[in-house]
Structure 1
Amino acid sequence: MLPEAAAACIYLAAEAAKLPPPILMTVLTVEAGHEGTHAHNSNGTEDYGPGQINTVWIGEIAQAIRRSPEETRALLQYDGCFNIRVTATLLRRQINAAGEFWTGVGWYHSRNKAESLRYIRRVIATAKRLFGPEIIAKTPTAAAVPHPDS
């Protein structure tokens, strides 16, 4: 996907999911997937595309878009914009479920507290590197970043 097309997909997906576009871009950077990416996980699941969408979501996504699981896997793996839209939707869902922005960002990766906190730290560090430290102050509930002891 050309950079201009990817930027447009990120912006539109972020707007639709009511996410700050820089945070969606940061999550995609941390996930480090690309169109065509297919990663095998140690727990037997697989991740697809730019947002590294896990196979645990395939059935639900397939049902929502009225496609077969096989077609859905292919879309997630090879259609970058589709994958980015799903990434934004799942990220928003996790934020809503958590009731707190940064906890939801961590839950996008894992509900395991230690893994979630590690992921939050990676996203914050990457966001600061990409956009400068002021980006964190501009995110919702920036003061509520979970502390490792909480």
Structure 2
Amino acid sequence: MILRRNKFTVMLALLSAVLVRAGLAEAKAVRDPAGEKEVARCIHKASQGRAWLERTLWGLRDQEGGWIGAAVENTNGTHDLGPLQVNSWWVPKIAVLVERPETHVRHWLQHDACFNAEAARWIFLSGLAVTGDYWKAIGVYHSPTAWRQRRYAKGVALHLQHRFGAEL
């Protein structure tokens, strides 16, 4: 009985160590300087020279907190993918637009920062075209639910102020 408890304690300690190390590896991926530089390059490229759109994409990225390779599971079974955390719900729609298989689109959203930023731009600008309202489009990027949209837009506004100053 004592031997079993000791084995269990050792196994539990090893499992804890592995989980802690996995968490640290994930945290390092989030802060990877090369990855951050690539995300910045891709956001700049996706904005197509429009400063307001580049700032918007930065606001979305800062709110989402994603990174290259991210696939964060949501409670509804979808996943938030890549640096701008594009929801996997968009994968079939984007696959039709780019005429590529959904498996490729999902992989690109997760691992290709530029594809991810371009998709985020498209989602945001589509929301802007439908709503005609900047802050509503910010909210639509996140959710179809009005109260979640408002909460999300407030968060993005705070991130924009933090990154670009209160006068923005």
Cα separation, partners in 2 of 1:17 and 1:66, compared to 1, 3 Å: farther
Residue identity opposite 1:42 in structure 2: T
More helix by share: 2
Structure 1 stretches of 4+ moved >2 Å: 1-8, 15-20
Q: Residue in 1 aligned with 2:106?
A: 73
Return the offset for 1:64.
1.5
Gaps of 5+ in 2: 1-33
Pairwise CA RMSD: 1.7
Question: Is residue 97 of structure 1 aligned with residue 130 of structure 2?
Answer: yes
Of 117, 120, 125, 2:150 maps to 117
Q: In the alignment, is residue 83 of structure 1 matched against residue 116 of structure 2?
A: yes
CA distance in 2, matches of 1:77, 1:39: 10
Q: Distance in 2 between matches of 1:115 and 1:75?
A: 27
Which of 53, 56, 60 is equivalent to 2:86?
53
| Counterpart-to-counterpart distance in 2, 1:47 and 1:3 | 18
Normalising by the residue count of structure 1, what TM-score does the alignment of the two structures yield?
A: 0.83
* 1:19-57 deviation digits (Å, cap 9, x = unpaired): 521121111111111110001111111111011111211
| Partners of 1:61 and 1:125 in 2: CA distance | 29
* Superposed displacement of residue 6, structure 1: 2.5
Q: How many Å apart are 1:16 and its aligned residue?
A: 7.2
| Residue pair 1:40, 1:47 contacting (<8 A) in 2 also | yes
Question: Percent identity at matched positions?
Answer: 30
The structure showing larger relative contact order (alpha-carbon pairs under 8 Å, at least 6 residues apart) is 1
> Structure 2-normalised TM-score?
0.74
1:34 aligns with 67
Alpha-carbon deviation of 1:110? 1.0
